[in-house]
Chain A
Amino acid sequence: MSDAAHAHDAHGHHAQPTGIMRWLTTTNHKDIGSLYLWFSFFMLFVAGSMALLIRSELFEPGMQLMRPDFFNELTTMHGLLMIFTVIMPAFTGFANWQVPLMIGAPDMAFPRMNNWSFWLLPVAAIMLLGSFWLPGGAVAGGWTMYPPLFIQGGVSYDLTILSVHIMGLSSIMGSINIITTILNMRAPGLALMKMPMFVWTWLITAYLLIATMPVLAGAVTMLLTDRNFGTHFFNAAGGGDPVMFQHIFWFFGHPEVYILILPAFGIISQIIPTFSRKPLFGYASMVYATASIAILSFTVWAHHMFAVGMPVAAQLFFMFSTMLIAVPTGVKVFNWVATMWKGSMTFETPMLFAIAFVCLFTIGGFSGLVLALAPVDIQLQDTYYVVAHFHYVLVSGALFSIFAGIYYWLPKWTGHMYNEALGKTHFWLSVIGMNTIFFPMHFLGLAGMPRRIPDYALQFTGFNQIATVGAFIFGFSQLLFLVLVLKTIKSGAKATDQVWEGAEGLEWTVPSPAPYHTFETAPVVK
C-alpha cells in the first residue's frame, strides 16, 4: 500500500483519466475532500427531507400523512444518515482538503486508501436508503439499534448492520490516514504544539474514531449473529441481556458525540482568530481541553441510560464525570470569547456562523448539564427535551461549524469570493429557522411530550406547529446555500491568496484556487 502510494507521489503529473473515472480513481486529497463534501451535501438534503416529512406529520395531532411504522422508519433513518453520512463525511472532507494544506504536506499519507475510504460511503448509503423498498420497510427501531426490537426486524435490519460495518471501516481507514499524515508529514519546523487547532482537533478525533468505531462494529456484529447464527448476546430468551447492548453501544456512542463536535471546535478555533485579528487565546489550554474531553468521553457513557436502572453509586459516578466534561468545554468557550475580546472584529458570514456556534452550542451544552442530573434525566428520558438538546449541539453546533468552514475556505478552494449578501441571508434564515424548530422543543419535553411518536396530545399542538414552520424555513434556506456554492464555483470576485485580512497559516500561502498539487517541496515553518 505505502509503496504504491509512494510511487504515485513520485510520478506526480501522469495522465489524468477524465469524466467519471477521474473521480472514481482519484487519489488527490483535494478531489477526495470535494467528493466527501458533495456527498455530505447531497445526503444533507436526503436526510433533511426526511426531517421535513417528520415535521409535517407532527404539524397536527392525529395521523395525517403516513402510517406510524413509516414515521418510525423516517426518524431512524434521519438519525443514522445525518450522523454517518452527513456530519462525519463533511468533517472528513474538511480534513482531506485542509490537513495537508495546513501542515505543508503534498497529500495524505495513503492516497489509495483515501480513495477507498470515500467510495465505501456511497455504497453504504445506497444500502441504507435502498432498504426503504425492501419487504417490511427500512429499519424503524431507532438509530441506536437497541435490541430486542433490532433482533426482531426484517431483512433491512441485516442490511443496516452491514452498512454500519462499511461506514465504520471507511471511518477507520480515513482516521488511520489522517493520523499518519499528521504524525509523519508535517513541514519541517512545524512542531505538534505549533499545529493549527483544526489539525489538533482532527488528530484527537481520529484517535477517538479508531478506539470506538471497532467497538460499534463488534456490537452490531453481535446483533448480526443474534439475528442469524443463533447466538444469545442480547436475546433474553437465550440467557442474553439487552441492557448489555446499551452499555456496549454507548461505550462507542458517547465518544462518537465528541467525534461529531471536536472537528467543529477546530474549525471555530481557526475562524474566530482570523476575524478578531488576534491569535487564538490560550492555544495550549485549548489543546489540553480537547484531549481532556476526549479522554473523559470514555467514562460517561451510562448517562444515556440512567432510566434502565443501575446502582446509585454508578448513577453518581456517571453524573459527576459527565458534569466534569463541562470544565474543559467551558475552557474552550472562554478562550473563544477571550479571543474576540478587544479584537478588531468584522462580521463576514464565517464569523457570523462561528459566533452563532459559540452561543447556541453553549445552550445545547447547558441543556446537556440538565440532562446529566440523574434524577432529572429519569423525568426527561426520551422526551423532546432530549431532542432539543442534541439538535442544539448537532445543528447549531456541528452543522453550523461546517457552514462556517465552507464559507471560510470556499474562496481558497474555488478561487472566488462568495456572495456576501446571499451568505448573510443564508445565515439569518438558518439561525432563525433553527431556533424556531428546536427552542420550543425544550418546552414540549418539559411538559412531557415523548419523542419518536407520530401522534401527540392536543395541548402540544401550538409548539409543534411553531417547530414545523421553523423546519421549513431552515430546510428551504439550505437551497440558498446550494445556489451560493454553485455560483461561487462558477463566478465571483477573484480571491487573493490570503483571502481574509487576518488569516494566518500555511494554507493561505498557496494561490487561490489552491493548485491541484501543493507543497511538493515542503515549506519551512519558523
Chain B
Amino acid sequence: MATGKSSTLTKLVIVALGMFGFGFALVPFYYKICEVTGINSGDEQSLVKNTQVDTSRWVTIEFDANTNEGLPWQFKTTQRSVRVHPGQLVQVEYEVANHSDHAIVGQAVPSYGPARAGAFFKKIECFCFTPQTLAAGERRQMPVLFVLDPSIDKDLHTITLSYTFFNTDPRAQTARLPEKVPHV
C-alpha cells in the first residue's frame, strides 16, 4: 500500500511541477501563435486599412503655382502631375523661396479647374490653411496631403489644382486678397 501511495505521490508532484513549467512555456507559445497568425504584429493593428480606395478609376491631377505680383517670392511645384485612384491618400510638395531682403507673410489661395472638382478635394494638411512667414532669403518645402472623394463625378478625369500666393500686407498688393479666404 505504501509503495502504491508514494508512486502516486511522485507522479502527481511531477505533473504539478510540469504544469508550473507549462505556465512559463505559454509565453513563447503565445508569441509564436501571434507570429504565425499575424495577430499581434504592429502593422496589422496600428495602421488602419483604407477600404475606400476606388481602384477601378484613375484621375490625373495637375499642379500649378503662381505668385501675385506684389509678392517677391518664387513659388513652384516639385511635380507637374500625379495619377491617383479616388480615395487614395496623396501627398505632394510645393517649394517656395523669398528672394527679397526682408521677411514677408504670404497666404496661398487655391482654385480648381473645373471649379466643381473643388468640392471633392478633402485636404488633410495644406500650407494654404495658414499664412506663411518667410525670412529674407528663406527657401521651404511645403506639403499638401489630400484625398479625392470616391464619390467624385465619373466624367472628371483630369483636374487642375492651382495655388496663388498673395502678400498679406495690403500696401504691397495690387490685386486685393479676397475679403474672405475661401474655406479649403
- A interface residues with partner B (beta carbon < 8 Å): 1-3, 6, 109-110, 172, 175-176, 179-180, 183-185, 210-219, 221-222, 233, 241, 243-244, 247-248, 251, 310-311
How far, in angstroms, from A1 to B26 measured CA to CA in the complex? Answer: 33
* Complex partner residue of A176 from B16, B23, B30, B31, CB under 8 angstroms: B16
Of B6-14, B72-80, B140-148, B167-175, the one contacting chain A is B6-14
Q: For the complex, what is the distance from the CA of A71 to the CA of B15, rounded to whole Å? A: 39
A306 to chain B, nearest CB (A): 14
B3 CB to nearest A CB, Å: 9
Q: What is the 8 Å Cβ interface bit string for chain B, positions 1-39, against chain A (1 contact, 0 not)?
A: 110111011001101111111111011001100000101
Q: With an 8 A cutoff between CB atoms, is B133 at the interface?
A: no
Which residues of A have CB within 8 Å of B12? Answer: 175-176, 179-180, 210
**At the interface, is chain B mostly helix, strand, loop or mixed?**
helix
Q: Are A184 and B20 in contact (CB under 8 A)?
A: no
**Which residue in A1, A184, A217, A251 is a CB contact (below 8 Å) of B4?**
A184
B6 touches A311 (CB 8 A): no
Do residues A214 and B23 form an inter-chain contact, with CB atoms below 8 A? yes
Instruction: Note all chain B residues with C-beta closer than 8 A to A179.
Output: 8, 12
The 4 A-B residue pairs with the shortest CB-CB distance in the complex, in nearest-first order: A218-B23, A214-B20, A214-B19, A215-B23
Q: Is the CB of A217 within 8 A of B9?
A: no
Chain A residues with CB under 8 A of B26 = 215, 218, 244, 247-248, 251
Say whether A215 contacts B19, CB under 8 Å. Answer: yes
A248 lies within 8 A of B23 (CB): yes
Q: Determine the distance from Cα of A207 to Cα of B88 in the docked complex, in whole angstroms.
A: 58
In the complex, A110→B12 CA distance in Å?
Answer: 13
B: residues with CB less than 8 A from A are: 1-2, 4-6, 8-9, 12-13, 15-24, 26-27, 30-31, 37, 39-40
Q: How far is the CB of A170 from chain B (nearest CB, A)?
A: 13
Q: Write the nearest CB–CB distance from A19 to chain B, whole angstroms.
A: 31
- Within the complex, what minimum Cβ distance (angstroms) separates B168 from chain A? 47
- B8 near A233 (CB under 8 angstroms)? no
Apart from A172-B16, A311-B39, list 5 A-B contacts with CB within 8 A: A6-B2, A110-B5, A179-B12, A248-B23, A248-B30
CA A213 to CA B12, docked complex, whole Å: 13
Of A3, A6, A212, A214, most buried by chain B (CB within 10 Å of CB) is A214
8 Å CB contact of B9 from A2, A233, A247, A248: A2
The complex places the Cα of A184 from the Cα of B144 at a distance, in Å, of 80
A215 touches B5 (CB 8 A): no
B10 CB, nearest partner CB in chain A, Å: 10
Interface centre among B16, B24, B26 (most CB of A within 10 A): B16
In the assembled complex, 17 residue pairs joining A and B whose CB atoms fall closer than 8 Å, in A order, are A3-B2, A176-B9, A176-B16, A180-B5, A184-B8, A210-B12, A210-B15, A210-B19, A212-B19, A214-B19, A214-B23, A215-B22, A216-B23, A217-B23, A233-B27, A244-B27, A248-B23
**B12 to A, closest residue via Cβ:** A176
- In the complex, A219→B27 CA distance in Å? 10
- Contact (Cβ within 8 A) A214 B22: yes
Q: Are B23 and A219 in contact (CB under 8 A)?
A: yes
Least Cβ–Cβ distance between B166 and chain A, in angstroms? 49
Q: Which residues of B lie under 8 Å from residue A221 when comparing CB positions?
A: 23
B residues within 8 A CB of A212? Answer: 19
Across the interface, name the chain B residue whose C-beta is closest to A176.
B12
Known contacts being A184-B4, A311-B37, is A214 close to B9, with CB within 8 Å?
no
Given A179-B8, A179-B12: A2 in contact with B20 (beta carbons within 8 A):
no
Are B39 and A247 in contact, with the CB atoms below 8 A? no
Q: How far is the CA of A221 from the CA of B19 in the complex (A)?
A: 13
State the Cβ distance, A5 to closest chain B Cβ, in Å: 8
Taking CB atoms, residues of chain A closer than 8 Å to B37 are: 311
For B8, the chain A residues whose CB sits under 8 A away are 109, 179-180, 183-184
For A243, give the chain B residue with the smallest CB separation.
B40
A247 to B40, alpha carbons, bound, how many Å?
14
